[in-house]
């Protein structure tokens, strides 16, 4: 109770208590009335679909310009004092389909936010600028020079100031500025420097990146240390009169001729009712539902542009963990194994765990001896303490073909359930051993800037059907970066390397003079190079969906123009990650915030030239 009150006291603006979150009971008919007949309309100047990065900024800019704004969000609002910084509840309440969405072929896990604030509430707080070579590519190859203009830079500067974007060393107390990163990021930084790799500290939007609780950012952030949408742009919009309708799905955009007049929505009431309602938009509708759902909404609304839903990019990622201070395995006797696994299909005579222990006996014995010679236990990795992803390795970003389509190495935010899904499963005892030693493991991900035409999103009764396959060029780039990262870890004293996926680990023993030229390491690297990532050899995932309503210069090549306006409709706009012409190669939060700011500022000026704002609702 005391903790809850402290959280409420530090909030600049409480969306729920101030009445920004609309009460369903105040806008729908009594329970006795038939839901399908409840079509009494509401009217706002601007209706924004989605409350994530793009929607939050657009709502703040337009409401500040004097327009009445309604933000419609299919996810629910989770007040800070109800966030427990635990994976179970946050995944159920703040992630798309409770974190269980995958590509159609089941080869890739997709993580996406689905809550008021969208992905800004559950992302890892990494603020990377859109690389200049990508901005120039968009300008030259896609006819979009605005991305190399001063207007874009000014919008980015405004965004960075509002979300307190800064380097970790500029945010931590003075006594910690020599070591501003948590242990995993510090190790990555040191290893890259030892190898002469390009590496840098990344800006974040944490006020206090050194707080232990910053590591729970993927769970929503109970203390609102991260300057997410709910404590920045949505709060700004709310103070200017904007309203949020949560747990409400937009079924379609209502049109008369070439103009949108509003949206048809279905409100999911807490008592289980589904109530259909029309919400009228006097001036415009802005799609900010993200690259998975903005195209689905446009398709349900009968827009015909060939590119809607196509060119899906997702920054496919794979990875590995490296142990630097392992503890020895707790071996069980054969009789215990047989007793406990009488009906275990993984055990056939000698189980996999026994074979693994015997095969790696020398390395495991070294681990045992090193532990017995130490008077104190080595420090744990503590990968869930402190801000994640504050160090970025850029050595492989240009790719093996030097075309700008390469990979970055980053430290992920690995809590128990996510890590548990990445640990190799060959045998229950082996899995238990790896899980017990996870506290001593450094997680690394290879994040690829995907090339080609990308995948496709289609509407499936209100859900996003995602078709996406890793192409050969991207797979080769990822494997190249992955093998180089393994070599780096071996050279810097890793005792075990374990890929994310069902591949047996490389056991080296706990010493600091490992050589990548040893037959053991070379054999392992050959296995990695020969892997087919897209054939389930390793676990693939992504948390960045982009490009399904892309921006361009004509309807023959794109869905929206340089202002984010649909070619097919005079007053429907897109301001989210779906309008990216290509993938970025960097975490997209700062880019989408910047683009939304630039486009919504332009839209506000355009509306003011043609129209007079109505009185705020």
Catalytic positions: 544
Q: Which residue has the tokens 């990163």?
A: 181
**Which residues share a beta bridge with 400?**
none
Q: What angle do CA 317, 87, 269 make, to 5 degrees?
A: 110
Q: Which residue has the tokens 């070579």?
A: 133
- Cα separation, 329 vs 496, in Å, equals 12
Here the tokens at position 27 are 């806008």
- Cα separation, 250 vs 271, in Å, equals 19
Burial bucket for residue 362 (CB in 10 Å: 0-12, 13-18, 19+): exposed
- Cα separation, 615 vs 364, in Å, equals 73
CB proximity list for 605: less than 8 A, separation 6 or greater: none
- Cα separation, 263 vs 303, in Å, equals 14
Q: Which residue has the tokens 């590119």?
A: 307
Here the tokens at position 348 are 């056939």
Alpha-carbon radius of gyration of the chain:
25
- Grouping H, G, I as helix, E, B as strand and the rest as coil, residue 497 is strand
Q: 443-467 burial, b for 16+ CB within 10 Å, e for fewer?
A: bbbbbbbbbbebbbbbbeeeebebe
Region of residue 322 (phi > 0: left; psi between -120 and 50: alpha; otherwise: beta): beta
DSSP 138-185: HHHHSS-GGGGSHHHHHHHHHHHHHTT-B-HHHHS-GGGTTS-S-HHH
Here the tokens at position 29 are 């008919």
- Cα separation, 259 vs 279, in Å, equals 15
Residue of 115, 87, 126, 83 whose CA lies nearest to 221 = 83
- Cα separation, 156 vs 129, in Å, equals 8
């Amino acid at each position: 109770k005391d903790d809850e009150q402290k959280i409420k006291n530090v909030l600049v603006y409480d969306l729920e208590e101030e009445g920004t979150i609309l009460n369903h009971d105040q806008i729908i008919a009594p329970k006795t009335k038939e839901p399908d007949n409840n079509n009494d309309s509401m009217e706002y100047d601007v209706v924004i679909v989605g409350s994530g990065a793009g929607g939050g900024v657009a709502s703040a800019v337009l409401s500040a310009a004097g327009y009445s704004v309604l933000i419609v969000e299919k996810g629910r609002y989770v007040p800070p004092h109800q966030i427990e910084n635990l994976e179970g509840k946050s995944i159920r309440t703040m992630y798309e389909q409770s974190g269980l969405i995958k590509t159609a072929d089941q080869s890739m896990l997709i993580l996406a936010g689905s809550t008021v604030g969208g992905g800004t509430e559950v992302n890892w707080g990494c603020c990377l600028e859109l690389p200049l070579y990508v901005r120039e590519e968009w300008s030259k190859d896609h006819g979009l020079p605005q991305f190399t203009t001063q207007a874009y830079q000014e919008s980015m500067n405004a965004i960075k100031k509002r979300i307190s974007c800064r380097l970790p060393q500029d945010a931590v107390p003075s006594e910690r500025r020599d070591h501003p990163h948590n242990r995993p990021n510090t190790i990555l930084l040191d290893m890259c420097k030892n190898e002469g790799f390009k590496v840098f500290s990344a800006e974040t939007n944490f006020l206090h990146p050194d707080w232990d609780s910053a590591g729970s950012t993927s769970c929503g952030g109970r203390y609102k240390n991260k300057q997410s949408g709910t404590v920045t742009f949505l709060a700004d919009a709310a103070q200017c009169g904007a309203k949020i309708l949560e747990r409400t799905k937009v079924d379609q955009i209502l049109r008369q001729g070439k103009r949108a007049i509003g949206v048809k929505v279905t409100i999911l009431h807490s008592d289980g009712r589904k109530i259909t309602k029309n919400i009228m938009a006097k001036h415009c509708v802005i799609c900010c539902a993200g690259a998975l759902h903005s195209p689905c909404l446009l398709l349900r609304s009968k827009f015909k542009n060939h590119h809607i839903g196509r060119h899906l990019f997702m920054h496919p990622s794979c990875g590995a963990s490296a142990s630097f201070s392992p503890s020895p395995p707790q071996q069980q006797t054969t009789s215990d194994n047989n007793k406990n696994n009488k009906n275990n299909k993984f055990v056939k005579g000698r189980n996999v765990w026994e074979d693994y222990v015997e095969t790696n006996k020398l390395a495991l014995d070294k681990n045992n001896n090193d532990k017995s010679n130490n008077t104190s236990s080595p420090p744990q990795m503590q990968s869930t303490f402190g801000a994640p992803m504050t160090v970025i390795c850029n050595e492989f970003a240009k790719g093996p073909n030097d075309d700008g389509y390469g990979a970055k190495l980053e430290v992920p935010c690995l809590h128990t359930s996510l890590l548990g899904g990445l640990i190799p499963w060959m045998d229950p005892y082996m899995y238990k051993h790896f899980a017990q030693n996870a506290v001593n493991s450094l997680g690394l991900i290879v994040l690829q800037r995907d090339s080609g035409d990308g995948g496709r999103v289609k509407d499936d009764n209100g859900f996003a059907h995602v078709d996406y396959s890793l192409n050969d060029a991207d797979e080769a780039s990822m494997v190249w970066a992955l093998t180089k990262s393994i070599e780096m870890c071996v050279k810097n004293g890793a005792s075990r390397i374990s890929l994310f996926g069902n591949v047996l680990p490389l056991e080296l023993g706990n010493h600091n003079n490992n050589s990548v030229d040893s037959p053991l390491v070379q054999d392992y690297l050959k296995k990695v190079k020969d892997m087919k990532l897209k054939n389930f050899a390793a676990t693939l995932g992504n948390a960045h969906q982009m490009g399904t309503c892309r921006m361009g210069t004509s309807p023959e090549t794109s869905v929206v123009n340089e202002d984010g306006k649909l070619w097919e409709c005079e007053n429907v706009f897109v301001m989210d990650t779906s309008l990216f012409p290509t993938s970025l190669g960097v975490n997209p939060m700062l880019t989408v915030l910047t683009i939304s700011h630039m486009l919504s500022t332009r839209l506000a000026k355009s509306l003011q030239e043609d129209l007079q704002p109505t009185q705020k609702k």
